[in-house]
Amino acid sequence: MAYIDDPETQKANLSFIKASMREPLLTRDHEFDLARQWREKGNERALHELVRAYTRLVVATAARFRNYGLPMGDLVQEGNVGLMQAASRFEPDREVRFSTYAAWWIRSAMQDYILRNWSIVRTGTTAAQKSLFFNLRRLRARIENANAGSGLTREGREWIATELQVDVTEVESMEMRLAATDQSLNAPVADGSDDDWQDFLADQRPSPEEVVIGMRDSRTRTAWLADALGELSPRERTIIQERRLREEGATLEELGRELGVSKERVRQLEHRALLKLRQSMLKRVEGYEDLLVEA
């Protein structure tokens, strides 16, 4: 459904469109001359003349995307950004008309804007999804017109997948996505109901009781570990602290240099210290599960 602007916005948009259409068309030679003046000399007046001449291209492209439910003025503004990007990158020596080059930048800017704002749920995160988002309606209309409005069949989805070189599952997913609309969680579940949709969302967070138990268990395990570390020799304790109790543990070679031993000796000491810790911790619990932290 197309977005309908308020009267003042419609008036401003119409004024911009009329001004764009009044801009004179550029000849090929004059267009290239303006582009060279901007590119080689930084002539901003030449840039402005070049850009103004093609704002009509922005308006025409925006009109193609007006049925995505977004303000026409916003589409035009995004297209103008794309037009400016095209002007900053245009190379006249390639002998390509600026309109041909700018059309891609304008369309890309508008498509990115639509994908960001069409829904609060991100759509078109892959090339396949983006292609489907902007082409599915058109291809589906061709099929439905040919079949007298019978809807999209399995064969129709397969044909679209072949046309766009995507998986059939991608077509099915995008078809469902385009058929749905964003709904507010604060909306009532039914007319006259006092219950909102958000009232039926399950809270997946731990209960207060589970939080308290988790904190107590964490303190207990910390005390057990501190006692077990106290039973190690100073060198073993250093190795465990540097290797196992830091976010980025030291390497065997680094500890070997610090302790004045080989890295193989550090590995042996680490292995022995871990065995000691395991035995010490198991003396304090009934089973391994008492040492595990619940996710």
Report residue 287's pLDDT band, with 50, 70 and 90 as the boundaries: low
pLDDT for 145: 64
Which overall architecture, per CATH, does domain 1-118 show?
Up-down Bundle (1.20)
Coarse DSSP helix, strand, coil percentages of the chain, rounded to the nearest 5 percent: 70, 0, 30
Q: Which residues contact 9 (CB under 8 A, 6 or more apart)?
A: 71, 73
CB atoms within 10 A of CB 270: 18
Lowest-confidence region among 73-87, 173-187, 227-241: 173-187
Q: What does the domain layout of the chain look like in residue ranges?
A: 1-118, 123-182, 208-291
In this model, does residue 239 exceed pLDDT 60? yes
Q: What is residue 283's three-state secondary structure?
A: coil
In this model, does residue 103 exceed pLDDT 90? yes
Report residue 292's pLDDT band, with 50, 70 and 90 as the boundaries: low
pLDDT for 290: 61
Over residues 17-48, the pLDDT tens digits come to 888 888 888 888 998 999 899 888 888 899 89
In this model, does residue 74 exceed pLDDT 80? yes
DSSP character string of 108-156: HHHHHHHHHHS-SS----SHHHHHHHHHHHHHHHHHHHHTTS----HHH
Cα 160 to Cα 170: distance, rounded to the nearest angstrom: 10
Q: Same fold for the domain at 1-118 and the one at 208-291?
A: no
pTM for the full predicted model: 0.56
In CATH, what number does 208-291 get? 1.10.10.10
* No. of helices (H) and no. of strands (E), the chain: 13, 0
In this model, does residue 104 exceed pLDDT 90? yes
Lowest-confidence region among 175-189, 200-214, 241-255: 175-189
Cα 2 to Cα 71: distance, rounded to the nearest angstrom: 8
CA dihedral 8, 12, 14, 20 (to 10 degrees): 180
In this model, does residue 93 exceed pLDDT 70? yes
Cα 47 to Cα 92: distance, rounded to the nearest angstrom: 13
pLDDT for 21: 87
pLDDT for 201: 83
Report residue 264's pLDDT band, with 50, 70 and 90 as the boundaries: very high
In this model, does residue 205 exceed pLDDT 80? yes
Report residue 76's pLDDT band, with 50, 70 and 90 as the boundaries: very high
pLDDT for 291: 61
CB atoms within 10 A of CB 166: 20
Cα 150 to Cα 187: distance, rounded to the nearest angstrom: 33
Answer yes or no: are the C-beta atoms of 229 and 243 closer than 8 Å: no
In this model, does residue 294 exceed pLDDT 70? no
Q: Please count the residues of the chain.
A: 295
In this model, does residue 8 exceed pLDDT 70? yes
Cα 295 to Cα 154: distance, rounded to the nearest angstrom: 42
Of the candidates 64, 131, 61, which has an alpha carbon nearest to the alpha carbon of residue 103? 61
Per cent of the chain over pLDDT 90 is: 22
- What is the mean pLDDT of the segment spanning 267-279? 91
Report residue 275's pLDDT band, with 50, 70 and 90 as the boundaries: very high
